[in-house]
Amino acid sequence: MLMRDPARWTRLAGWLLVIALMAPTFPLTGFNPAALTQPDNLRTIGAFVAGFLPPALAPDFLGEVARETLTTLASATAGIALALLLGAPLAFLTSRALDRHALSGDRPSRLLQAAQTTLRGLMVLLRGIPEIVWALLFVRATGLGSLPAVLAIGLAYGGMLAKVYAEILESQTAAPARALHLAGASRWQTLLYGLWPQALPELVSYSVYRWECAVRASAVMGFVGAGGIGQLLDTSLKMLNSGEVSTLLLVFLLLSALSDAISHLARRALANRAGQGWLAAGGVLAIMASVAWLWPGWRDSGFDPAALPRFFHDFFPPALSLPFLPELGHYALETLAMSGLGTALAFIGGALLALPAAGRFGLALTLPCRALLNLLRGVPDLLWASIAVLAVGLGPAAGVLALALHTSGVLGRLFAETLENAPSEPSRALELAGAGRLGVFCYGVLPCVLHQWIAYALYRWENNIRIATVLGIVGAGGLGQQLYLALSLFQQQKAAALILCMLLLTWAVEGLSRRLRPAA
């Protein structure tokens, strides 16, 4: 006979507490799973999905898709080049690995510390505002086209690259840099001969990864008018042209697979000096080709760089008046509830899909479930939100559904990997003791993986709060929807308050998640 679980009441109390915390998110978001089964919604979704076949293959349309796909890739590549021009100098100026007082043990200069603190604050601001929000701002400032996408990626990813580059330099062995500094080398010489040779593979590898992310980001920026394949998809969704949507979804997935493959090849090229040379040459040629492809559109856009300072000046001071603060708080709570409920539903969905995907129910279910997980995470959140709006209407309920679908794919894959890597001894012992399949899973498998599952879910919650703040751009409620409306009505000061709220909410959730993860 199996012994009773001595911690069963503690576990039950923990899950009841989670349920109690999740309960208010349903009225805050208006999410009602039963709404998905209403006849009108089912007819709308059914007609839309039925139109996916056959995909639109008209030559004119495919030609336009090819042009916008190239624009998406070019925007990502040019954006990363701009991010490098911004991020590398910021990392050089702020990395503690190059500070004289760190290398020699002298007292730090107060002026240097103040300058570095200011620059680090700038880096936090650049990466704290989501790239899609930067794109939305630049569309308002410079007009439609690929230029807003390039500027948005350049600023947002410039802040990310600066932070990670600085950390990579700080993680290297300090002895060579210290010896060079004591021999009289300048900060630049210390970097070039002391840290650069050690850090180069890691710096290049992270840059390639960020390019891969930039391709995905560029693909959805068309939803706010920043060119590329996303702009075609947004138009097709609004026209309910399912055949075109089907074709564009396939292109999205192929584009994601292509960027993964190029990223993999680039990392392999880092293994030897010849490969590094080819990678550097290929990167320079790709940047030149991207700028050449995008230049005619930039030249004809009529963009006046002198207008940018005037545009951003109108955002200050943010509209933080007392009458608006309760409204701002409501939108923030709505966004928080959207991210929390979407992540919680994804935890359940990911766990249910992970079991067959990990081979727990035979090969017949493993391959279809893995394909479904790939589809769920391969379609961007913003695209899921656009489709969810068709299913449940405008508002945060669509955002919850979008986050749940996309994050189920992400968590399901991670959960499946933990199940595959879980030790088999506890399960085997329970089987020999006569436990059934459910008992083996609950007491032999789940305790080995649950802590990791919770940690993954908390990581995704950090990511989802960022996404939840912008899903409203396509009508999925929360702060993003209000930001889109404010910019559409030229209420820049109100938009500034909403962006500030986005930043504070994101930082608060990241801090809370970091506190909860060790406990998990």
Q: Is the CB of residue 246 less than 8 Å from the CB of residue 52?
A: yes
Give CA–CA dist 74/137, Å, rounded.
20
Give CA–CA dist 393/24, Å, rounded.
21
Q: How confident is the model at residue 1 (pLDDT cuts 50, 70, 90)?
A: very low
Pick the CATH number of 61-299+307-313 from 1.10.1060.10, 3.40.50.1980, 1.10.3720.10, 1.10.10.10: 1.10.3720.10
339-363, pLDDT tens digit by residue? 999 999 999 999 999 989 988 777 7
CB atoms within 10 A of CB 63: 10
**How much is the pLDDT for 241?**
84
| Residue 190 in this model has a pLDDT that exceeds 70 | yes
- Omega of the bond prior to 296 within 30 degrees of 0, cis? no
**How much is the pLDDT for 14?**
63
Q: Which CATH superfamily does the domain covering 316-519 fall into?
A: MetI-like (1.10.3720.10)
Question: What is the reported pTM?
Answer: 0.85
389-433, pLDDT tens digit by residue? 877 888 999 999 999 999 999 999 999 988 888 777 777 787 777
Token pair of 379 as six digits = 């379609």
Q: How confident is the model at residue 2 (pLDDT cuts 50, 70, 90)?
A: very low
**How much is the pLDDT for 340?**
92
Give CA–CA dist 292/287, Å, rounded.
9
Q: Which residues contact 406 (CB under 8 A, 6 or more apart)?
A: 346, 376, 377, 379, 380, 381, 384
Of 84, 147, 160, the residue nearest 296 (C-alpha): 147
In the chain, residues under CATH classification 1.10.3720.10 are 61-299+307-313, 316-519
CB atoms within 10 A of CB 135: 33
Beta strand segments in 271-327, E: none
- Mean pLDDT in residue range 28-56: 77
53-108, pLDDT tens digit by residue? 788 889 999 999 999 999 999 999 999 999 999 999 999 999 888 887 777 767 77
Half-sphere exposure of 259 (CA within 13 A, CB side): 25
